[in-house]
């Protein structure tokens, strides 16, 4: 499979043109094609030069540039038309109106005035119409506007011809301003990359590009500077502004030994940081990639509108032809009257309001979610999130802090506390699980890695390790039952980790985890939003799970589950919804990856979460707060509501004006409002999501 390529489409100022480019590329055999009007980019698989050739044929006025690897969109271009030309056209048009209605000047000077105003306002439209007509594209909005205004000139309606083109130009100008404002709002989120890094080399500071940093490098971050890459603080303490990453306004205190994330701003102290990840693998790069690529995954509504627009314009143009010809030819009506009515329909026939405002609405929703620390990987997932009726949550790291501590050590069969802790730490030496980290921390002594010869992880139950002189089993009841080891059945509050040395039961560790402060509030907010059921799905013991569930207020508990058991629970919940709602799963561990993929919506905790969980999930919560699930659903529902409003607004007004145009009750001025004016209203409505 070839690598996807990105093309920057400079001059793409028409939403229906973006849809047309996408359809043309698909017809030419390109795969994974997505043209993003809001970001002015095309993403596809195939030959770049061939793609450029197709785009230029469809839209000759567009400059096609290579955008692969840029990481961020180029700066906004000028709006369609220039203010100088627009102002001059408006002034000439006003003078023409005064001469016609104030002084009754004859038609030749009027024709000259209105023609100059028309050309100033519409030269770009006329040029595009001419080039598109040569290529046989007769359903382009520029061509339709040209035919409509030429027709108005032909029947002597000079003011309307010029006025319609000027109104169209002004509408396009303000529409571009509105779209660019939305682009800038989301781009402000993307302006998180540090411009430089202070690399420490032989006691000196060298300013370098963050892309050149490598794991093991040591950097200095001064107060007020942005942290360029992920790392660990080795000297100093400070407060960090992480609002751009997590949406939280409260500064986060960091000190030696703590992890810092790229994109955070160092507020006060001087920090020495050891780099742990290259820029392309750091948190900020992951956020940029997720947000920038999100609009490539389109919601069903967007796909429907794109298909609808393909048929809407030809149908209305055909209707205009019937209106122009049928009454005069079959009923003896005046040609001028019915041709004028047909011209009105031509102006209404462009579906720009729909094609532009729907993706812009989803783009705004994705941007708003990102600003609150919720990364949505596609507008299709935002759509699905709005329909969630059941939320299933993992326990460890999701509802609880995932920060474990050994609270008690119980020895059996003559083994000492020191033996128990050391052998358990030896078995867990290579594990990244939070419980393993707690065991190693409790031992807090030296471990010789060379002693560990073999480690076999038992999914959902524990670890069996072999050293130079013994076999160690560390895990839950399930592991010991499977290995037929006699042991205590403990009814204690906390997670129990049994330890077996050479088939002899050595005792157990009690490991406790705290519930997150906002877990109960999260469940309460979900129910306030109308979520029918909140379920806990965990591999932990039933006693621990039920204790946490009671504190959080969840409706249902499924405990002591293997990864495949979690998948079965989600499948059962999906069957219970009967297709009338979506099932979301919230998790953070490697063992959650299968169930994150299985759920209708997979939501991963991005702070503590494993890379596998984050890659598999559809949505990532950057600050690990379960309450953000309710926030995400709220944003998704608001986005869906605005998108629906725009569909009803655009279609409703257009259908009304089509009827009025056929009845002779709508002028071309009003028709332009039905086209450009409705697009402006829909765009303004979509931008509300960002507030």
Question: Which residues does the annotation mark as catalytic?
Answer: 394
Q: What is the DSSP letter of 226?
A: B
Contact 572, 603 (CB under 8 A): no
Point out which residues pair with 524 in neighbouring strands.
none
- CB atoms under 10 Å from CB of 37, counted, come to 24
The runs of H, that is alpha helices, within 395-517 are 417-427, 434-443, 477-482
Give dist(CA 120, CA 511) in Å, integer: 76
Point out which residues pair with 200 in neighbouring strands.
205
Give dist(CA 127, CA 165) in Å, integer: 14
Give dist(CA 12, CA 95) in Å, integer: 33
Between CA 127 and CA 135, with CA 129 as vertex, the angle to 5 degrees is 110
Contact 502, 359 (CB under 8 A): no
Give dist(CA 555, CA 552) in Å, integer: 9
Contact 636, 377 (CB under 8 A): no
Sorted by sequence, the CB contacts under 8 Å of residue 247 that are 6+ apart come out as 371, 372, 373, 374, 622, 623, 628
Give dist(CA 463, CA 449) in Å, integer: 16
Sorted by sequence, the CB contacts under 8 Å of residue 159 that are 6+ apart come out as 93, 96, 97, 100, 114
Give dist(CA 471, CA 281) in Å, integer: 37
The runs of H, that is alpha helices, within 503-541 are 519-528
Q: N- to C-terminal Cα distance for the chain?
A: 41
Q: How far is CA 1 from CA 31, 44, 45, 47, 299, in A?
A: 10, 12, 8, 12, 25
- CB atoms under 10 Å from CB of 659, counted, come to 11
- CB atoms under 10 Å from CB of 691, counted, come to 7
Which helix H or strand E contains 655, and what residues bound it?
Answer: helix 627-663
Contact 207, 115 (CB under 8 A): no
> For the stretch 588-601, what's the b/e string if a residue is b when 16 or more beta carbons lie within 10 angstroms of its beta carbon?
bbbbbbbbbbbbbb
Contact 485, 505 (CB under 8 A): yes
């Amino acid at each position: 499979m070839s690598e996807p390529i990105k093309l920057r489409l400079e001059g793409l100022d028409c939403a229906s043109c973006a849809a047309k480019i996408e359809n043309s590329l698909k017809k030419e055999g390109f795969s994974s094609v997505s043209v993003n009007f809001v970001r002015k980019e095309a993403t596809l698989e195939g030959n770049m030069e061939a793609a450029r050739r197709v785009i230029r044929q469809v839209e000759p006025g567009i400059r096609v540039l290579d955008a692969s690897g840029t990481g961020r969109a180029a700066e906004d271009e000028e709006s369609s038309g220039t203010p100088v030309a627009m102002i001059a056209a408006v002034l000439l048009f006003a003078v023409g109106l005064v001469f016609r209605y104030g002084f009754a000047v004859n038609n030749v000077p009027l024709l000259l005035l209105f023609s100059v105003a028309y050309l100033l306002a519409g030269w770009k439209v006329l040029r595009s119409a001419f080039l598109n007509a040569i290529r046989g594209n007769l359903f382009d909005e520029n061509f339709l506007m040209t035919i409509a205004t030429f027709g108005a000139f032909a029947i002597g309606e000079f003011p309307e011809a010029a006025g319609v083109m000027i109104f169209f130009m002004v509408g396009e100008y303000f529409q571009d301003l509105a779209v660019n404002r939305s682009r800038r709002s989301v781009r402000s989120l993307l302006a998180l990359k540090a411009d430089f890094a202070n690399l420490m080399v032989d006691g000196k500071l060298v300013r370098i590009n963050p892309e050149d940093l490598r794991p093991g490098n040591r950097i200095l971050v001064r107060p007020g500077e942005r942290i360029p890459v992920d790392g660990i603080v080795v000297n100093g303490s400070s407060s960090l502004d992480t609002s751009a990453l997590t949406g939280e306004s409260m500064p986060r205190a960091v000190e030696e030994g703590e992890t810092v994330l790229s994109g955070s701003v160092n507020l006060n102290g001087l920090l020495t940081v050891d780099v742990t990840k290259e820029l392309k693998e750091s948190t900020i790069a992951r956020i940029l990639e997720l947000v920038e690529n999100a609009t490539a995954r389109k919601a069903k509504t967007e796909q429907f509108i794109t298909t609808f627009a393909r048929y809407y314009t030809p149908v209305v143009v055909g209707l205009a032809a019937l209106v122009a010809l049928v009454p005069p030819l079959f009923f003896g009506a005046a040609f001028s009257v019915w041709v004028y009515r047909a011209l009105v329909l031509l102006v209404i026939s462009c579906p720009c309001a729909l094609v532009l405002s729907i993706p812009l609405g989803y783009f705004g929703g994705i941007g708003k979610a990102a600003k609150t620390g919720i990364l949505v990987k596609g507008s299709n997932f935002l759509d699905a999130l709005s329909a969630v009726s059941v939320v299933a949550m993992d326990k460890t790291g999701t509802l609880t802090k995932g920060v474990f501590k050994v609270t008690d050590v119980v020895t059996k069969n003559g083994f000492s506390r020191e033996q128990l802790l050391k052998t358990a730490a030896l078995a867990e030496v290579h594990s990244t699980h939070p419980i393993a980290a707690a065991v190693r921390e409790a031992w807090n002594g030296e471990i010789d890695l060379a002693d560990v010869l073999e480690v076999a992880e038992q999914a959902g139950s524990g670890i069996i390790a072999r050293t130079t002189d013994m076999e160690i089993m560390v895990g839950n009841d399930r592991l010991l039952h499977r290995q037929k080891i006699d042991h205590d059945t403990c009814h204690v509050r906390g997670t129990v980790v049994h330890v077996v040395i050479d088939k002899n039961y050595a005792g157990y560790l009690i490991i406790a985890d705290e519930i997150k402060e906002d877990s109960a509030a999260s469940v309460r907010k979900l129910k306030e939003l109308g979520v029918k059921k909140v379920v806990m799905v965990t591999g932990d013991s039933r006693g621990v799970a039920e204790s946490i569930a009671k504190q959080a207020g969840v409706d249902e508990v499924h405990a002591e589950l293997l990864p495949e058991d979690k998948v079965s629970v989600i499948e059962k919940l999906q069957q219970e919804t009967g297709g009338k709602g979506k099932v979301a799963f919230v998790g953070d561990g490697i063992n959650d990856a299968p169930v994150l993929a299985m759920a209708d919506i997979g939501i991963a905790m991005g702070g503590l979460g494993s890379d596998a969980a984050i890659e598999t999930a559809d949505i990532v919560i950057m600050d690990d707060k379960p309450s953000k699930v309710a926030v995400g659903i709220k944003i998704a529902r608001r986005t869906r509501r605005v998108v629906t409003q725009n569909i009803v607004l655009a279609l409703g007004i257009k259908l009304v004006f089509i009827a009025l145009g056929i009845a002779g009750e709508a002028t071309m001025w009003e028709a332009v409002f039905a086209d450009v004016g409705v697009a402006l209203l829909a765009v303004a409505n979509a931008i509300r999501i960002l507030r």
